[in-house]
Amino acid sequence: MVYRVYVEKKEALANEARALLEDLREFLGIRSLTGIRLLNRYDLENISRELFDYAVKTVLSEPQLDTVSYDPPEGGTVFAVEYLPGQYDQRADSAAQCIQILSQGERPVVRTARVYVLEGTL
């Protein structure tokens, strides 16, 4: 079974999203853009539900800094960017290694994507 989770920095700590919004407004001239959210999407396979729940809190997110959601983001224009099969994804590889250490068993299959939520008119 494939488990999916979305991890996003809390609004007060979303410095990367604020910087990207400023860049899109200033350099590309998209003044109608009112906000942007950046989320990391993780898809995990070959893992038990208990280990997945534990990994979400310890490997995939930092509870003090991040908000976790199991539902896709709503509102605005949503698109995701992910690595093609065969391309090296350091975030996915690191997560898989950490989860394997936690479980002391088989390495799970981890895939990641960067999800962008653009708010406002384009």
Q: What is the pLDDT of residue 70?
A: 97
Alpha carbons within 13 A on the beta-carbon side of 68: 16
Instruction: Tokens for 67, please give them.
Output: 């908000």
Residue 121: the pLDDT is 86
pLDDT in the model for residue 71: 96
Q: What is the pLDDT of residues 9-40, one digit of tens each?
A: 999 999 999 999 999 999 999 999 999 999 99
pTM (two decimals): 0.93
Q: Are 60 and 3 in contact (CB under 8 A)?
A: no
Strands (E), the chain: 3-9, 33-45, 66-69, 77-82, 109-120
pLDDT confidence of 6, banded at 50, 70, 90? Answer: very high
Q: pLDDT digit string (tens) for 47-67?
A: 999 999 999 999 999 999 999
Q: For 75-114, how does the pLDDT look when each residue is reduced to its tens digit (9 = 90+)?
A: 899 999 999 999 999 999 999 999 999 999 999 999 999 9
